[in-house]
Structure 1
Amino acid sequence: MVSTTIKSALVRALSDLPKDDFLAFCHALRDRRAPPRVPYSRVEDRSAPQIAEQLVSTFTERTAREVTLELLRQIHCNEAAEAMDSTTKACVDKGNPDFRRTSTGKLETKPSLEARRHVAGGGPPRARSPEEAGEGGAAASGWLELSGRSIQFGKYTGQSLKWLLENDVGYVAYLLAEPPGPREQKKDSLIQYAKAYPEVWDEVRIQRGNSRPSKSAVGGGALVGFGVHALATLRGLYGSKDPQKRSYVEFLRKKSSSCDPGSKMDDAVGYILQCDRNKAKRTTRQTTSFSPRAVRERQPGGEGVQSSRRRPPRAPWTK
């Protein structure tokens, strides 16, 4: 099957327009204010293939697609715009989700209006079979293919992984943070896809922390359990003066946002970061204890100065 290119889709879309609509499109292109502008001489009395060629040479294929969709909607040829958008989406889609953001620029974790409508509306879309969705089948042939796999369980059954990250990151974090269970194997594709986006994985870690005891609860006597220092205890690794072990501790500090929640590495990172926080607190207390005020209060006369302050006289009628 011959794949559709943006240029061929432009030619087809413009050729399918009625004559009046095609003329309206050419006028809208000529009158478009945003740069780069297309001169009137390159639009007048041109055919659909020539206009498509002009669009691509002026804007590049990707931008030509956006400009064409914009102008088609501007002249109220919405059906033609939707058809072209659907035909060419795969040409520009690399499989990465378009994340929603809050007003402060942070990742929006609440469900979108589309997600809420999906849950409140009728039944979910047709769920693809495991073979079609890629669950349990051959490895993904590409990121775009992975992003299009559908989730096979939960309230968004049948929706693509990309759609899921675009519309309800909070639910994704909840699914990946829950303890292992019967549907764990069905999460393989979702885990692979979500781990590519650090912000999403941070939300998973937050959810994991809210749903199980804090990582700081891992005792220092526990074994590292992985890597070259697997047989060392966490306490021994953290407190070691050995340059190799100290280097390894520094390496683990940098893995805070990328290791799997609940893994041995996650426990080790949590222990190291908790030890760092405790050390910082001790340093702060020591600094405070050696402040000029604290030193004066510990001096022999300091206590006496406070105790020698005169108390207000008692009233004559009190004993």
Structure 2
Amino acid sequence: MALKSANTEIFHSLMELEDGNFDTFCFQLRDSSVEPRIRAGEVEKKNRLEITKLLVSRCTEAGALRRTINTLRDIGCNNEALELESRNASRLDVSSQVQMNGTLNKEAPSGRESEPPAKPLKQANGATQAKPSQTVVKQSPKPETAWSGELLLFGKHAGKSFEWLLQNHENYAVYVVATHLKERDEGNMSQNKLMKNKDALAEYVRHFSHVMEEVHFYREGLAPIGFGTYTNVTRQDLYNSTDERKKSYVNWLRSLEGSGKGDQMEAVLKYISHRDKKGATVIERVLPAPSPDLDPS
């Protein structure tokens, strides 16, 4: 899909802000010491379209995107900042690479002699140590520890490590991974920063069998019943329903456990049995619909 213009992306993000947040955004723009400076008179009583045009005219397209993302973060609108950054990752990466190349060219002008190779270091006993440039082979860490220090980039726990999330809010990890894997299975192959972060979390969780079991059953809950009166209702919604007819239907299904009524019904019965054993604290009870920014904790 072709990238939208920077103007459109910024305008779209500003339109998603509540009026109070938009006012704070404008105040932060004029109060910031970031160059190019924006004066109070340039943002006072301006609407979202006018602010968009101001940013692009003063900062260039890539600069305006970065300025908008940073300002959103400054005022606490982290989700809006992340979404804007994710949608424009390729554009921002190109801009950053151009700046980096320019800096490197300045720091290392052509014709300058390179640094001489480091001499081998000697230990106290006279033995020679490996040169700093030589590859040192280290023992590979356990697969799960390779991801444990990764940080979440979304939701109320953004900035926390994967390890911390699993230790303190396992249900939330189950929810995120289950809905993310479902989205991947349905064909969303996006490689933006947010999706890559969820891929990494899913890879980390795979190393914990008891958590993956919960992921499996959460995904089972998102599937429709597939038969009978409530054929199009998901297993999760049927189990969680307070409607007396649906509760009665679930009780009737419980009575069929082990009756060998077919694979689809057995899968539903297995899901109900699992939920019964887990009790009413299962994450599904407090999540009306999947969304990456909801925090069930």
TM over 0.5, shorter chain: no
Scaled to the shorter chain, the TM-score interval is 0.3 to 0.5
Normalization by structure 2: what TM-score?
0.34
> Computing the radius of gyration over CA atoms, which structure comes out larger, 1 or 2?
1
Normalization by structure 1: what TM-score?
0.32
